[in-house]
Copies of this chain bind each other. A is one copy, B any other.
Amino acid sequence: MRYKITFSYDGSKFDGYQKQKHVLNTVQGIMENALKYINNDKITKISSSGRTDKGVSAFMQVGHADIDVNITPYKLKRALNSLIPDSIHVIDVEEVSNEFHARYMAKEKTYIYKVNIGEYNPIEKDYVCQLCKPLDINILKSEIKDFIGEHDFSSFCSNQDKKEDCRRIIYDASVKKTGNYIVFSFTGNGFLKYMVRIMCGYLISVALDKVEPGKIPYYLKNTEKKVTTKTAVATGLYLKEVKY
């Protein structure tokens, strides 16, 4: 039986999402250990909507796993939560058909990026990017909308594989300011490696007057020109939602 597993995790507590040889403390590795235990010691893979970088958290990540033993979704949720550490939490488990695929069938993903532009705050240092410099929200608002639409995002990602198709659709890109906090939000059909962090880093550089505004359309057309602005740090980035 295939199960759709919706879970959240604190990325600051792990060495990234993706399972790696010789790295024990990954979200995927820990989830798969728990699944193996439940699935009569059979190696059991969890396929998620996509990996997240080291330091990135997920309010909502979705994966699927095939389990041979007869177990209700409710009991699978409880069993997983009793086996995994408290930095990961299974929110929901559903039985799905064998055609369901957490990665290929994801229609829409939303990432948010939180930045503190006020005084350094030690309480949230692992959860919010501590930029601690003022940013002009109007510049950010006017720039960010240029990302909306279907574009080749080669300039705004870290693609080693030159043949990878870098076309993605950004359905919505917005930014809001609440007190000393700036929150960027991007909803799209998919995101490339470091893409959200590179876009946020670029926007921050424009607002800090390090880069000329109005150049995003240029980079979206001239896909051989990588932007050279600083990639925003992982701390502050959250996978907020995955829709199917």
Whether the pair A89, B8 counts as a contact (CB closer than 8 A) is no
Q: How far is the CA of A89 from the CA of B116 in the complex (A)?
A: 14
For the complex formed, measure the closest distance between the CB of A54 and the CB atoms of chain B, giving whole angstroms: 15
A87 nearest CB neighbor, chain B only: B122
Interface status of A121 (Cβ within 8 A of chain B): yes
Whether the pair A9, B122 counts as a contact (CB closer than 8 A) is yes
Interface status of A199 (Cβ within 8 A of chain B): no
Whether the pair A89, B120 counts as a contact (CB closer than 8 A) is yes
Q: How far is the CA of A8 from the CA of B88 in the complex (A)?
A: 28
For the complex formed, measure the closest distance between the CB of A119 and the CB atoms of chain B, giving whole angstroms: 6
Residues of B within 8 A of A10 (CB): 122-123, 125
Give how many copies assemble into the complex.
2
Residues of B within 8 A of A125 (CB): 10, 86-87
Q: How large is the interface on A (under 10, 10 to 19, 20 to 34, 35 or more residues)?
A: 10 to 19
Per DSSP, are chain A's interface residues mostly helix, strand or loop, or mixed? mixed
Q: How far is the CA of A70 from the CA of B121 in the complex (A)?
A: 28
- Tell me which of B8, B59, B123 contacts A59 (CB under 8 A): B123
Interface status of A205 (Cβ within 8 A of chain B): no
Q: How far is the CA of A10 from the CA of B120 in the complex (A)?
A: 12
Residues of B within 8 A of A88 (CB): 122
For the complex formed, measure the closest distance between the CB of A238 and the CB atoms of chain B, giving whole angstroms: 8
For the complex formed, measure the closest distance between the CB of A59 and the CB atoms of chain B, giving whole angstroms: 7
A11 nearest CB neighbor, chain B only: B123
A88 nearest CB neighbor, chain B only: B122
Top 7 A-B pairs ranked by shortest CB distance?
A89-B122, A10-B123, A10-B122, A87-B122, A57-B123, A89-B120, A8-B122
18 new A-B pairs (CB below 8 Å) besides A10-B122, A87-B125, A91-B119? Answer: A8-B121, A8-B122, A8-B123, A9-B123, A10-B123, A10-B125, A57-B123, A59-B121, A59-B123, A86-B122, A86-B125, A87-B122, A89-B119, A89-B120, A89-B121, A89-B122, A123-B127, A123-B238
Q: List 23 A-B contacts (CB under 8 A).
A: A8-B121, A8-B122, A8-B123, A9-B122, A9-B123, A10-B122, A10-B123, A10-B125, A57-B123, A59-B121, A59-B123, A86-B122, A86-B125, A87-B122, A87-B125, A88-B122, A89-B119, A89-B120, A89-B121, A89-B122, A91-B119, A123-B127, A123-B238
